[in-house]
């Protein structure tokens, strides 16, 4: 749902078209900051990271499903989770931070890597400073707090889209400094010829 607000403002579900639209309309991405926060928290839950690591429970003695794995198979699981983290961060960057892609191939690539690193750093800091939630706390937080924030983001983007559409469809105001229409005046020359009736 956090992606819905950004897609609604750009009027497309295509990531490439969404990035192109936000490149042509700079500063519109700032209306998606609420959705950015919701997406980061949702990615934490999707990856089952702290504070949403209830199925994993790394802080406990028994680490969930990973208890039965070790060595190479456990490394495969960890690499898959890390790849999922980078892919999720890249998706958040493409949707909510769509700027810097028009700088050229190499500068744009390094800007893209910097933004992904920024999102991964946010996820890492959140994992470090928060404690694991109970199931009831997690459900209450997600369905009350996050859902409420996402609805506010949708409302903000809907108002922005409506206002921008109304401004674009408004009739043009005629210019007030237009020159007045000039009236051509043709001088009339009166030719007086001597009358033939005059006495000689």
- Report the 3 state secondary structure along the chain: CHHHHHHHHHCCCCHHHHHHHHHHCCCHHHHHHHHHHHHHHHHHHHCCCCCCCCCCCCCCCCCHHHHHCCHHHHHHHHHHHHHHHHHHHHHHHHHHCCCCCCCCHHHHHHHHHHHHHHHHHHHHHHHHHCCCCCHHHHHHHHHHHHHHHHHHHHHHHHHHHHHHHHHHCCCCCCCCCCCCCCCCCCCCCCCCCCCCCCCC
**What tens-digit pLDDT sequence spans the chain (200 residues)?**
788 888 888 888 888 888 888 888 878 888 999 999 999 999 998 888 888 877 665 556 666 666 777 788 888 988 998 999 999 999 999 889 888 777 778 888 899 899 999 999 999 898 888 888 888 888 888 888 888 988 998 899 889 888 887 666 555 455 455 454 444 444 444 444 454 555 44
pTM (whole model) above 0.85: no
């Amino acid at each position: 749902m956090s992606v819905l607000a950004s897609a609604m403002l750009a009027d497309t579900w295509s990531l490439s078209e969404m990035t192109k639209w936000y490149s042509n309309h700079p500063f519109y991405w700032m209306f998606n900051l609420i959705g950015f926060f919701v997406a980061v928290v949702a990615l934490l839950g999707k990856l089952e990271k702290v504070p949403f690591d209830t199925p994993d429970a790394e802080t406990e003695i028994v680490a969930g499903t990973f208890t039965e794995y070790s060595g190479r198979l456990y490394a495969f699981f960890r690499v898959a989770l890390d790849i999922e983290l980078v892919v999720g961060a890249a998706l958040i960057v493409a949707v909510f931070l769509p700027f810097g892609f028009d700088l050229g191939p190499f500068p744009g690539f390094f800007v893209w890597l910097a933004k992904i690193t920024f999102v991964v750093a946010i996820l890492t800091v959140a994992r470090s400073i928060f404690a694991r939630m109970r199931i009831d706390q997690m459900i209450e937080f997600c369905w009350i707090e996050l859902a409420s924030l996402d609805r506010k983001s949708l409302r903000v983007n809907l108002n922005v889209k409506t206002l921008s559409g109304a401004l674009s469809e408004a009739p043009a105001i005629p210019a007030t400094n237009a020159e007045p229409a000039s009236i051509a005046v043709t001088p009339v020359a009166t030719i007086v010829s001597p009358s033939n009736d005059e006495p000689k």
